[in-house]
């Protein structure tokens, strides 16, 4: 199965995850509530780290849970782990094999914390180290660049959020995600044509904010992994504090700007980039004002709650990166210098 096939597979995988793992997620939520967790301490690497960025906003905004991203080297090389009293210690990993992520959960459990593994391999070392485990059931992911495992991680995190809230509307919204992604996938051919415009792109910036700060990082990572473009992700707020100075006429800026609480700030930034800096804009949005500013607009369905837009928007970004890889003459299945499983210490 190719990278492109795995991108197209995501609606079915997410629908199955919702159907098959809701009861498991409800049990996880009950365990979290029973321990009166004060904050979340999350360990991940690579694509899974971007899922952690999503959790930072999602669980903070919708569940009022502060979240800290772990520095795994404190647990391995420095052997000076922080005190984790009152923490829910979470490890997110596609393979569940990375020793440094496992070490964080092992230490969390030693300190008496509740521990949770979110992984695609239920018999992995990470799952064995944790008290609780959520199998994201994405199926075997053959492509080196992660796609369906990432959206499945996001779905798992969103399901836990919904279960902690106890609101049926949240589950109804989650059930619409596969159909929203199907709508994005209908633009596959159009995005393939769009990628031709960027055949000679060597560098760009990728902007997002709020829930889609994670999407900016994941889009940039896919471009680095597959197309070898120097793609630098930023919050649109941080981008104003210096980095915007590098943008001149024709400089590529890729942005994720769906409707929501941070949309007005994103629209202001996109307007400035197009009108004052004459940037070359690729914009993923469901608001016509943002799309009208882009030379290369990618449409999202309307009506997506902001907290779920990262699950839909990243699919458009994956298609863009996949097609640009082909346009540049590279192999989507064999990106140079990286392998499917990276075990860091």
DSSP 67-104: EEE--GGGTTTS--PPP-TTEEEEEEESSS--HHHHHH
Yes or no: say if 248 and 343 are a contact pair by the CB < 8 Å rule.
no
pLDDT band for 216, please (50, 70, 90 cuts): very high
State the average pLDDT over residues 150-171.
97
Report the relative pairing of strands 280-285 and 230-235 from DSSP bridges: unpaired
Domain that holds residue 65: 3-175
Reduced to 3 states (helix: H, G, I; strand: E, B; else coil), residue 287 is coil
Instruction: Convert 1-62 into a string of H (helix), E (strand) and C (coil).
Output: CCHHHHHHCHHHHHHHHHHHHHHHHHHHHHHHHHCCCCEEEEECCCHHHHHHHHHHHHHHHH
From CA 157, how far away is CA 18, in angstroms rounded?
11
Is 167 in the same domain as 89? Answer: yes
Is 250 in the same domain as 272? Answer: yes
CATH number at residue 135: 3.40.50.10490
Is 256 in the same domain as 217? Answer: yes
If one counts every other C-beta atom within 10 angstroms of the C-beta of residue 115, the result is 26
pLDDT band for 34, please (50, 70, 90 cuts): very high
Residue 340 in domain: no
Is 12 in the same domain as 156? Answer: yes
pLDDT in tens, 242-297: 899 999 999 999 999 999 999 999 999 999 999 999 999 999 999 999 999 999 99
pLDDT in tens, 168-197: 999 999 999 999 999 999 999 999 999 999
Distances in whole angstroms, Cα of residue 221 to Cα of each of 167, 225, 243, 313: 34, 6, 18, 15
Written as one string, the DSSP assignment of 192-239 is HHHHGGGTT--EEEEEE-GGGHHHHHHHHHHHHHHH--EEEEEEHHHH
Total domain count, the chain: 2
Mean pLDDT, rounded, of the chain: 96
Place of tokens 């097609």: 323
Is 254 in the same domain as 126? Answer: no
pLDDT band for 336, please (50, 70, 90 cuts): confident
Residue 328 DSSP label: T
Yes or no: say if 101 and 91 are a contact pair by the CB < 8 Å rule.
yes
Is 222 in the same domain as 299? Answer: yes
| pTM score above 0.85 | yes
Yes or no: say if 211 and 202 are a contact pair by the CB < 8 Å rule.
no
- Token pair, residue 111, equals 């300190």
Distances in whole angstroms, Cα of residue 170 to Cα of each of 153, 213, 240, 304: 17, 21, 34, 12
Is 243 in the same domain as 314? Answer: yes
% of the chain exceeding 70 in pLDDT: 97
Is 80 in the same domain as 8? Answer: yes
From CA 162, how far away is CA 170, in angstroms rounded?
6
Yes or no: say if 47 and 150 are a contact pair by the CB < 8 Å rule.
yes
State the average pLDDT over residues 103-114.
97
Rounded to a whole number, what is the distance in angstroms from the first to the last CA of the chain? 30
**Residue that is last in its domain, among 123, 146, 175:** 175
Residue 337 in domain: no
Is 212 in the same domain as 298? Answer: yes
Yes or no: say if 216 and 234 are a contact pair by the CB < 8 Å rule.
yes
Indicate whether 143 pLDDT > 60: yes
Is 167 in the same domain as 239? Answer: no
Residue 269 in domain: yes
Is 281 in the same domain as 300? Answer: yes
Is 225 in the same domain as 124? Answer: no
Residue 334 in domain: no
Residue 338 in domain: no
């Amino acid at each position: 199965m190719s990278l492109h096939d795995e991108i197209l597979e995501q609606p079915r995988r997410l629908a199955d995850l919702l159907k098959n793992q809701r009861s498991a997620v409800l049990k996880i939520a009950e365990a979290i509530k029973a321990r009166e967790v004060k904050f979340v301490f999350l360990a991940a690497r690579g694509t899974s780290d971007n899922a952690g960025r999503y959790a930072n906003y999602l669980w903070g905004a919708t569940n009022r849970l502060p979240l800290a991203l772990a520095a795994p080297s404190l647990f391995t090389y420095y052997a000076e782990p922080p005190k984790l009293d009152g923490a829910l210690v979470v490890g997110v990993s596609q393979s569940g094999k990375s020793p440094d992520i496992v070490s964080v959960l092992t230490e969390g459990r030693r300190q008496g914390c509740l521990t949770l593994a979110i992984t695609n391999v239920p018999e992995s070392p990470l799952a064995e180290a944790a008290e609780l485990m959520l199998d994201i059931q994405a199926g075997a992911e053959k492509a080196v660049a992660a796609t369906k495992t990432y959206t499945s991680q996001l779905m798992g995190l969103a399901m836990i959020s919904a279960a902690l809230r106890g609101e049926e509307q949240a589950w109804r919204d989650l059930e619409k995600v596969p159909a929203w992604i199907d709508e994005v996938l209908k633009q596959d051919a159009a995005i393939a044509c769009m990628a031709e415009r960027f055949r000679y792109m060597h560098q760009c910036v990728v902007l997002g904010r709020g829930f889609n700060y994670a999407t900016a990082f994941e889009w940039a990572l896919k471009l680095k992994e597959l197309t070898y473009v120097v793609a630098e992700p930023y919050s649109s707020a941080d981008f104003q504090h210096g980095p915007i100075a590098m943008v001149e006429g024709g400089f590529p800026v890729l942005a994720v700007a769906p409707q929501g609480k941070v949309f007005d700030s994103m629209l202001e930034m996109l307007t400035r980039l197009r009108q004052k800096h004459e940037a070359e804009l690729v914009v993923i949005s469901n608001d016509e004002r943002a799309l009208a500013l882009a030379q290369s607009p990618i449409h999202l369905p309307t009506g997506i709650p902001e907290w779920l837009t990262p699950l839909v928007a990243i699919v458009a970004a994956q298609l863009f990166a996949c097609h640009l890889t082909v346009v540049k003459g590279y192999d989507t299945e064999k990106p140079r210098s990286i392998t499917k499983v990276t075990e860091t210490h």
